[in-house]
Amino acid sequence: MTGLTFRKREEPAERLDLSPLTPSRLAGMAERDIAALAVGTSRMGLRVGDVFDVVMGDAATVRFEGGSHRFDRIGEAMETGEITVEGDAGVRLGRMLAGGRVGVSGSVGAHAGSAMTGGVIAIAGDAGERLGGPLAGEMMGMKGGTITVGGNVGARAGDRMRRGVIFVNGTADEDLASRMIAGTIVVGGRAAATPGRLMKRGTLFLCGGAERFAPTFVDNGPADLLILKIMASEFTRGEVGEVPFDGRPMRRLGGDTAVLGLGEVFLPL
Amino acid sequence: MTVDTAWIDGRPATLEDALQAAAGLLDGSRLPFVGGLRTDVAGLRSALSLARRIGAVVDHRLSAAIYPFIVAARENGAFLAAPAEMRRRADRVVVMGDEAAEIGADVIRMLTDASPDLGIGTRGSERLFMTLGSKNAASPGSTASRHVDCASSEIVDVLGMVRAGMAGRRSGEGALGEETVATITSFLTDAGFCCIVFSPAEFGELGTEQIFGLVADLNETTRASTLPVLAAADAMGAALQATWTAGFPLRFAFGRGAGEHDAALNAGERQLSGAGEADLAILIDALDGAAPAEAKAAIPTIAITADPASAGAARIAFHVATAGRDYDGVLYEPRFGSFVAKAAQRNSELPSAAAILDALTEQLGERARDAA
């Protein structure tokens, strides 16, 4: 049985809050009730039926046919099921995700995976600023689960990250892993300056190197660690897939000693 | 001779016609933007009230200058002092960066003009100054000042080295040598009460967090605080008023009734450039003193301004009086860190921004009643 499909009619003139369209919230709802769900963010009061053609199906899988950079909050607080977006998505994709899977074929806006605790987010294109990061006033960013990005990520990916894994195939913009508390980030391409600013703990693999580090990252020399081989093999077997390091020795930096200094950064030798 | 006070598409109009035309534009708008916000407390109150009624996005024209401070303070906490207390208590002052001496000249003068007379450890001491930046920012009148030359872009890294050293952790090679970093460290740690004067806009969100973090570290062993100086004092006043009115320091939207905050999506620059979702802007510019020229808005505008020549291609324009100059106004004053009343210096026949905004809100109410 095919999933429940939202087919975009035309590009919306305003940002849409699509957080009500998760599998658990749509389960058992009639088509008329789904079409009446409010998704607008202006005083026009837009509803699902104003923006999408709804094709009913098993709500355990929700599909957006045609995306938009204004499709915000897709998969917010989802606990189970699957959402796929054919196209782009807006801000806060998979925010507070607890389980299930969110897949996007295009690129997404800021705060994807913000404060998520579990599940998987797979973005084929680029991700905007603060991937996995907290919203204003929140103390922690990503707290679990896995995010994979096929393209590049914007500034401050992994901000205040506490647990979980972020894999970026492309490059990372400035201040990757700022204020990181723990967790693991793997970047295939180059990281702009200055990765790890104010990070307390956590692990970065910067396989394409970095523009520069703050002087509060101390070079520990080459590290030939068994854990690198174990991690590479575990990533390959899991959601992340093949990673651009294979367990061979890497150069290790420790930092940011301005705060606690227990974070580690691995670079190619 | 009568003075024109309102224009429709550049042609003089009566106030009533202009208000009706503006209300017509607002009625047809999907998502209006209320910005500029260069006005007094009464004007801001009226602007926020109108914004709530029309479901608008709200931001101040110069909020980018205060956001590094707001973000760092709300996400990590901050040691903040009143200038008047630092004038009496601080025995050491660090003027950090290249912008502070210029933006905070008044505040720095308050510190150079007096010596500490409060605190057991600081009372009666000579006040020592250190400037850390690429220019010597020593203030006139202070002979007890030393300068450490450091490019502005390197200061955040140097402060990281200071923090690492204070905690007994290692750091690598930075812009300044170990000896100079040790000199800065001892200047801070040997103080009875150290005060850091800096411009958050110069150092950005993470840089400002580094400075607040350094002051938090210093307070483990001594006393220290900060005086962040802001280039846009009225933006800070608007942010405070927006917070007590709608719960957020600007950059929020009333589209769904209650205010919803997003510092990136609701930024005025984004909305006025046409990249946002707003389709009509109300821009308020009714304070004395020049503000940086605003980029031409890509969406239709209703201008409420003390300088009609600046209204440009606004669809509707209203000429209003300047708060605190043409009539008594309450404005944010950075030297006090709060709002102060400012008496009028001359008489004016022009209406206040608040009066125009309230009349516009009233006009919208009448139209809604007529339509019902």
> pLDDT (tens digit, 9 = 90+) per residue, A169-212?
999 999 999 999 999 999 999 999 999 999 999 999 999 999 99
As a whole number of angstroms, the distance between CA B8 and CA A90 comes to 37
Whether B171 and B61 map to the same domain: the answer is no
Whether residues B174 and A136 touch (CB distance < 8 A) is answered with no
Q: How near does any CA of chain B get to the CA of A162, in Å?
A: 16
Length of chain B: 372
For residue A69, give every residue at least 6 positions away whose Cβ sits within 8 Å of its Cβ, in sequence order, or none: A88, A89, A90, A107, A109
Q: How near does any CA of chain A get to the CA of B217, in Å?
A: 9
Whether B96 and B215 map to the same domain: the answer is yes
Whether B238 and B158 map to the same domain: the answer is no
Whether B336 and B261 map to the same domain: the answer is yes
Whether B292 and B205 map to the same domain: the answer is no
* B252: containing domain: 6-66+233-371
CATH code where residue B15 lies: 3.40.50.740
pLDDT level of residue B146 (50, 70, 90 thresholds): confident
State residue B279's pLDDT score: 96
Lowest-pLDDT range of A22-36, A47-61, B258-272, B326-340 = B326-340
Nearest to B213 among A44, A219, A259 (CB): A259
What are the chain A neighbours of B156 within 8 Å (beta carbons)?
A: 214
Query: Radius of gyration (Cα) for chain B, nearest Å?
Result: 24
pLDDT level of residue B368 (50, 70, 90 thresholds): confident
Nearest to B255 among A43, A137, A256 (CB): A43
Helix, coil or strand: residue A144: strand
Instruction: Count CB atoms within 10 A of the CB of residue A81.
Output: 23
On whether the CB atoms of residues A113 and A239 are closer than 8 A, the answer is no
What are the chain B neighbours of A129 within 8 Å (beta carbons)?
A: 264
Burial B147-168 (b: 16+ CB within 10 A, else e): ebebebeebbbbbbbbbbbbee
State residue B204's pLDDT score: 97
Whether B116 and B169 map to the same domain: the answer is yes
Helix, coil or strand: residue B158: helix
Which has the closest alpha carbon to A134: B70, B77, B71, B240? B71
Please check whether residue B261 lies inside any domain of the structure: yes
Q: How near does any CA of chain A get to the CA of B187, in Å?
A: 18
Tens of pLDDT, residues B175-190? 999 999 999 999 999 9
Whether B93 and B166 map to the same domain: the answer is yes
State residue B140's pLDDT score: 47
* pLDDT more than 90, % of chain B: 77
Closest Cα in chain A to B204: A175
State residue B139's pLDDT score: 53
Tens of pLDDT, residues A64-98? 999 999 999 999 999 999 999 999 999 999 999 99
pLDDT level of residue A2 (50, 70, 90 thresholds): confident
State residue B347's pLDDT score: 87
Whether B79 and B202 map to the same domain: the answer is yes
CATH code where residue B114 lies: 3.40.228.10
Looking at every residue in chain B, the average pLDDT score rounds to 92
The CA-to-CA distance between both ends of chain A, in Å, stands at: 50
What are the chain A neighbours of B173 within 8 Å (beta carbons)?
A: 215
Using the 3D structure, point to which of B183, B209, B228 is the last residue of a domain: B228
Chain A residues with CB within 8 Å of chain B CB: 13-15, 40-44, 70, 91, 110, 129, 136-137, 175, 178-179, 194, 197-198, 213-219, 256-259, 261
B322 backbone dihedrals φ, ψ, rounded to 5°: -95, 125
State residue B292's pLDDT score: 64
Q: How near does any CA of chain B get to the CA of A42, in Å?
A: 4
Please check whether residue B1 lies inside any domain of the structure: no
Average pLDDT on A229-235 reads 93
Whether B194 has a pLDDT exceeding 80, the answer reads yes
Structural domains counted in chain B = 2
Domains identified in chain A and CATH numbers: 61-267 (2.160.20.60)
pLDDT level of residue B1 (50, 70, 90 thresholds): very low
User: How many Cβ contacts (< 8 angstroms) between chains A and B?
Assistant: 98
Nearest to A14 among B30, B164, B171 (CB): B30
On whether the CB atoms of residues B189 and B222 are closer than 8 A, the answer is yes
Whether B195 and B96 map to the same domain: the answer is yes
ipTM: 0.95
Using the 3D structure, point to which of B228, B243, B267 is the last residue of a domain: B228
